[in-house]
Amino acid sequence: MFEPGVRAGILATGSELLTGQIVDQNGPWLAERLGRLGIELVDELLVGDRRDDLAAGLRFLAGQGLDLIITTGGLGPTADDVTAELVAEFAGVPMVLDPALEQRIADILRGWAARHGFAGDALVAANRKQATVPSGATVLNPVGTAPGLVVSLAGGPLVLVLPGPPREVRGMWDAALGTPEVRELLARTPPLHTTHLRMFGLPESEIAQTLREVGAELDLDELEITTCLRRSELEVDLRYRSGAGEAVAEKLAAEITRRHGSFLVSTDGTPTDEQVGRLLAGHRIGLGESCTGGMLAGRLTDRAGSSEYLVGGVVAYSNEAKTALLGVPAELIEAHGAVSPEVARAMADGARATFHSDIGVGITGVAGPGGGTEAKPVGYVCFCVTTDDGRVEARDRVLPGNRNDVRERSTDVAMHLIRRILTTSAT
Amino acid sequence: MFEPGVRAGILATGSELLTGQIVDQNGPWLAERLGRLGIELVDELLVGDRRDDLAAGLRFLAGQGLDLIITTGGLGPTADDVTAELVAEFAGVPMVLDPALEQRIADILRGWAARHGFAGDALVAANRKQATVPSGATVLNPVGTAPGLVVSLAGGPLVLVLPGPPREVRGMWDAALGTPEVRELLARTPPLHTTHLRMFGLPESEIAQTLREVGAELDLDELEITTCLRRSELEVDLRYRSGAGEAVAEKLAAEITRRHGSFLVSTDGTPTDEQVGRLLAGHRIGLGESCTGGMLAGRLTDRAGSSEYLVGGVVAYSNEAKTALLGVPAELIEAHGAVSPEVARAMADGARATFHSDIGVGITGVAGPGGGTEAKPVGYVCFCVTTDDGRVEARDRVLPGNRNDVRERSTDVAMHLIRRILTTSAT
């Protein structure tokens, strides 16, 4: 059987998370970090800044038999920031001013105010509030101006109180792991292992059928299996704790590889972007983008070290730019239209020539919402990747969804075509 | 007093949401839609695919006195998809096969299988599971292959059961609003109004001080006020239901404008990108990007109609590309370094020349993690926007955070510089 281990929950507070203004970035980041530590994230609850809702959320999580609750947000200087106070109430301890902390925050604020030319009055008031913490809490040094807190609930979970801004959460994480309370928790965490299978182009139902059929022979109860369709990629995760689980995961992964190998991107969780980055080592790539408007360049340069292989890119939105910067003949555009396999090919070759690279990519399509025709509807996108030794990977597809979907999926397809041309041996 | 209205909660299911693999996109989208309808989102709970956790989550939300619960995910063909079943249990009704729905899904699948060359077996099995729904539920036509469901809990909230993929949620939304059950709910929803103030470059503590001072004169209890620092922007939302609330919101907005007007981007919630898009109408803009690697182009082209003003961009990662495509003199790079205000200026002017545009943007910086020096540390970025009538907006800044933060903040700063040059009258 798949044995449960140390279980965690997240309570993310901030009314802006519930109005659609901002997307919670801390949850996914914390989830990934917890997973590496073998801690399972069971629930994440997003609540507004209202005290009652926050208290109800804390009660719910505390009642879920969790070992760890992480709160994010609600530590700012404004009156709607009440997380620290609430956790203190929950732990049954008073709030106390920590003079050393007040001094530390004051130092941070003085430097900031001096650089930005703001007066100190508002900052000092904020300071005192942020330096008032639950009695007995372990204080984590601020990354911004809010300190983190570690609070033990008597007979209940450990509560790790973190600020809202993702940068501050990330900057405080190692210090949190170093506190005696969290170290004690980690010491009793059995390791959790995951086999990640990443596929491109395979429908989820095919994996469902494989699991049904394989389930007759393998004891899948040893695993926790999740499948997730993420734009164009299907991710299958096999999680296990025991040696028996490991054996089943291995057999299942082998069977999925045997049946669906041609759709397999990686079996070790390597994200497509990382794989493409590694494969590009020693190459030089140049890009010609139209409908994706720089998104492919943005995605490739997201990785540190990408300057080693990405020479550059042209966002050629207008026909003139396609001709002037990528050398696409105006007659070719005239004859086939700007969105055509022929123009995608010419853009790829042109990008190679412009950037003196050995790999070139061309993307041209109708991202919508306007511009579609019967022959070339919204979502119709032409891709081409060419190499200086004469290889060509070309596709044209009608991709589903709105403008944003089409652009993102186009970027996905282009990444996979680059991957393909780099994993297909020359000649 | 600020009166509560119709309250909603979201239960998002999918283990992948809790392992950090994917970020919940449905919550923010639904939140924004609910807000427009005057429905307040109180809680969003993310849980894995485990039945017990899902059931506990449903019980928690049902106990929160909500009028509407929206579930997303868990409607797929795999065995870990149990949402429909659980909602049926909760409503105390059996699951029944809907033959008309089965037929509709089969039609969708047949077309898909034919186009992609997959056999029908796995698809048919999936089909039957997805066509089995809680007895008495109102069925929403599938956008993918999963139907949506509207289920009334006796004496409890209305439950709207939606699929997980964002594209399907969005595609099903209008149909959901058209069901008799949701229409009835909307009929008893008092309108909720929001004044959005968007600022750039103002610290949150300044707003906190303003609110404290203004609170002495205005009855802020009429409002629900939230402040949210979102990368470089500070968003202040004033929500109200009553006429008295409206008057207070107006006075408060006026006072914030009086005190912090130079930091104000918009008072009607207009996002920066939309504002920049509108301001660019009638102009032609060309981009030269280095450290942002196409992200500014990607962001500008995110808006439909951007081809009207964005001629194109060059991602000039290498010095050669800066020289060849943007005409940056090699001696200038030699003399000042590739990351320098001089080169940013030359890139902006070069982008104007290359794309025959009236506005040019140049961005060059050290995104990190490597490449920093004492004089030009990681995060040091130079920006320049120039126009053909000789105006120049130039900045150089050390931006905080990791590579991703620096690149995103750089894109923010560039957007605001474009905004500024377009709102500053030519002399």
B7-16 in b/e form (b: 16+ CB < 10 A) is: bbbbbbbbbb
Best B49, B317, B407, B412 member to test A by mutation, with max A CBs in 10 Å, is B317
Contact B222, B248 (CB under 8 A): yes
Per-residue pLDDT tens over the stretch B21-37:
778 889 999 998 998 78
Average pLDDT, chain B: 90
Q: Is residue A353 part of a domain?
A: yes
In a domain, A93, yes or no: yes
CB nearest to B294's CB, from A78, A301, A403: A301
Whether residue B203 sits in one domain with residue B121: no
Cα end-to-end distance, chain B, whole Å: 49
- A280 occurs within a structural domain: yes
Helices and strands (DSSP H and E) totals, chain A? 15, 17
* Alpha-carbon radius of gyration of chain A: 26
Asked whether residue B300 falls in the same domain as residue B341, the answer is yes
Query: For residue B116, is pLDDT > 70?
Result: no
> A208, B79: Cβ pair inside 8 Å?
yes
The one-letter code for the residue type at A38 is G
Chain A contact for B217 (CB, 8 A cutoff) = no
Kindly indicate whether the ipTM for this predicted assembly is greater than 0.90, answering yes or no.
Answer: no
Whether the predicted pLDDT of B308 surpasses 50: yes
Q: Which of B248, B269, B290 corresponds to the end of one domain?
A: B269
Contact B31 A23 (CB under 8 A): no
CB-based contact (8 Å) between A23 and chain B? yes
Report the pLDDT averaged over residues B387-398. Answer: 95
Instruction: Answer with the one of A269, A302, A331 that is the final residue of a domain.
Output: A269
Query: Is there a single domain that holds both residue B124 and residue B176?
Result: yes
Please indicate, yes or no, if residue B331 is contained in any of the structural domains: yes
pLDDT exceeds cutoff 90 at B117: no
Residue that wins the pLDDT comparison between A239 and B395: B395
Is residue A276 within 8 Å of residue A263, measured between CB atoms?
no
Residue A3: which pLDDT band, with cuts at 50, 70 and 90? low
Cβ-based neighbour number of residue A116 at 10 Å: 10
Q: Which single residue is written with the structure tokens 């289920």?
A: B151
Number of structural domains chain A divides into: 3
DSSP state letters, A94-133: -EEE-HHHHHHHHHHHHHHHHHHT--SHHHHHHHHHHTEE
Give the tens place of pLDDT for each residue, B326-379.
Answer: 999 999 999 999 999 999 999 999 999 999 999 999 999 999 898 899 999 999
- The verdict on a CB contact (< 8 Å) between B126 and A354 is no
Q: Is there a domain that residue B238 lies in? A: yes
B:322-351 residues touching chain A, CB 8 A cutoff: 324-325
With a cut of 80, say whether residue B20 has pLDDT above it.
no
Pairing label, strands B138-140, B158-162: unpaired
Shared domain for B181 and B105, answered yes or no, is yes
What confidence tens digit (pLDDT) does each residue in B195-208 have?
Answer: 999 999 888 888 88
Residue A2 counted as domain residue:
no
Same structural domain, A143 and A57 = yes
B159 touches B152 (CB < 8 A): yes
Does B1 map to a domain? Answer: no
**Could you tell me the pLDDT band of residue A427, with boundaries at 50, 70 and 90?**
very low
Q: In angstroms, rounded to a whole number, what is the distance separating the alpha carbons of residues A416 and A168?
A: 34
Q: What is the pLDDT of residues A317-336, one digit of tens each?
A: 899 999 999 999 999 999 99
Distance CA A83, CA B207 (A): 20
- Encode pLDDT of B255-279 as tens digits: 999 999 988 999 888 889 999 999 9
Q: What's the CATH number where B278 sits?
A: 3.90.950.20
Residues 53-92 of B with CB under 8 A from A: 53, 56-57, 60, 64, 76-80
Contact B8, A18 (CB under 8 A): no
| CA-based nearest residue in chain B for residue A198 | B21
Whether residue A381 is predicted with pLDDT greater than 50 in this model: the reply is yes
What average pLDDT does range B376-387 have in this prediction?
97
Alpha carbon distances (Å) from B122 to B78, B111, B126, B165: 11, 14, 6, 20
Same domain assignment for residues B419 and B289: yes
The residue range of the domain holding B13 is 7-187
Tell me the per-residue pLDDT of B119-175, one tens digit each, with 9 for 90 and over: 666 677 777 888 999 999 999 999 888 899 999 988 889 999 999 999 899 999 999
B22 found inside a domain: yes
Helix (H, G, I), strand (E, B) or coil at A386: strand
> Quick one: closest CA in B to A145, which residue?
B205
Helix (H, G, I), strand (E, B) or coil at B376: coil
* B54 in the same domain as B111: yes
Q: Is the bond preceding residue B369 a cis peptide, omega within 30 degrees? A: yes
Mean pLDDT within A401-419 = 93
Say which residue, A127 or B217, is predicted with more confidence.
Answer: B217
CATH of the domain at A141: 3.40.980.10
Q: How far is B378 from chain A (nearest CA, A)?
A: 12
Task: Choose one of A231, A251, A269: the last residue of a domain.
Answer: A269
Spatial separation of the C-alpha atoms in residues A144 and B208, rounded to whole Å: 16
Within this chain, do residues B55 and B175 fall inside the same structural domain, yes or no?
Answer: yes
pLDDT tier at B110, thresholds 50, 70, 90: confident
Residue B220 has pLDDT above 80, yes or no: yes
Question: Is a pLDDT exceeding 80 seen at residue A139?
Answer: yes
- Alpha-carbon distance of A325 to A355, in angstroms, equals 10
Judge whether A10 and A30 are in contact, CB under 8 Å. yes
Same domain, residue pair A164 and A107 = yes
Residue B427 has what pLDDT? 46
Please say if the pLDDT value at position A426 is more than 70: no
Cα→Cα distances A169→A31, A71, A160, A173, A325, Å: 12, 10, 11, 6, 43
- Chains A, B: CB contacts under 8 A, how many? 345
| Nearest Cα to Cα of residue B31 among B7, B56, B48 | B7
Q: How far is CA B56 from the centre of its chain?
A: 29
Question: Looking at the structure, do residues A383 and A323 belong to the same domain, yes or no?
Answer: yes
* Cβ–Cβ gap A226/B400 under 8 Å: no
Q: Give yes or no: residues A159 and A11 share one domain.
A: yes
| A406 and A284, same domain (yes or no) | yes
Contacting A residues, span 261-300, partner chain B, CB-CB under 8 Å = 287, 289, 292-298, 300
pLDDT of residue B229: 76
Return the CATH number at B256: 3.30.70.2860
Assign A130 a pLDDT band (cuts: 50, 70, 90). confident
Identify the closest residue of chain A to B325 by CA–CA distance. A325
Q: What is the CA radius of gyration of chain B?
A: 26
Q: Are A22 and B28 inside 8 Å of each other by CB?
A: yes
